[in-house]
């Protein structure tokens, strides 16, 4: 295994908080040089996100208040998995429909985003949805969301200017922008 000399191993693990979404652990570990250490980290059941792109090059974004940072953010539709065994593609299609009312003809896996690997094991599978048609939204009862169509080029500019701060959204914006560039050049 590459970088085997960097591997840390668990000597013991303690669950110090077991919430509905987050599970906090403190592990005593063996460091690569044989010394002991500890790691505090959070386990999360995983999530999915979708960048819905209209035929006109607009992205269907959601704006919502994020309590942890005390502000409204602009994001792509996303949500946690309902169960650890839930199919990620199906979960992403569900979130797309619930948050935007959209269904799609084409669905492309863009990759997996890991936002803070030093303290959080959450993995977010991200998709591109194209060929959209719209119906009714179905927000969760604790979601208060505004939907907005924003040109992808504007989102790229907003990201470069620091106006978009959500990591999964930044990942998706830049990945889709590059994918579309490669398509235009006949390389994708």
Active-site annotation holder among 141, 143, 148, 178: 141
User: Where is 72: in which H helix or E strand?
Assistant: strand 71-75
Q: Nearest Cα to 52, choosing from 93, 4, 7, 15?
A: 93
**Backbone dihedral region for residue 57 (phi beyond 0: left; psi -120 to 50: alpha; all else: beta):** left
Give the span between the Cα atoms of 133 and 100, in whole angstroms: 10
Q: How far apart are CA 145 and CA 129, in angstroms?
A: 19
Cα 185 to Cα 54, 131, 156, 178, 188, distances in angstroms: 20, 21, 19, 11, 8
Known catalytic residue: 141? Answer: yes
Taking the chain, what is the end-to-end CA distance rounded to the nearest angstrom? 31
Residues with active-site annotation:
141
């Amino acid at each position: 295994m590459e970088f085997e000399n960097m591997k840390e191993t668990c000597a013991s693990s303690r669950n110090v908080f077991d919430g509905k979404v987050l599970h906090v652990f403190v592990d005593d570990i063996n460091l690569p040089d044989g010394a002991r250490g500890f790691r505090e980290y959070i386990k999360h059941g995983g999530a999915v996100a979708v960048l819905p792109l209209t035929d006109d090059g607009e992205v269907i974004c959601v704006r919502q208040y994020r309590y942890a940072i005390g502000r409204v953010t602009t994001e792509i539709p996303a949500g946690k998995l309902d169960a650890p065994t839930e199919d990620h593609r199906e979960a992403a299609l569900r979130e797309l429909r619930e948050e935007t009312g959209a269904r799609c003809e084409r669905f492309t896996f863009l990759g997996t985003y890991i936002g803070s690997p030093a303290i959080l094991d959450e993995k977010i599978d991200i998709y591109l949805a194209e060929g959209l048609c719209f119906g009714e939204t179905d927000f969760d009862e604790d979601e208060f969301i505004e939907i907005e169509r924003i040109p992808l080029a504007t989102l790229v500019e907003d990201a470069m200017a620091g106006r978009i701060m959500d990591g999964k959204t930044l990942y998706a914006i830049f990945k889709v922008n590059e994918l579309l560039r490669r398509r235009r050049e006949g390389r994708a």
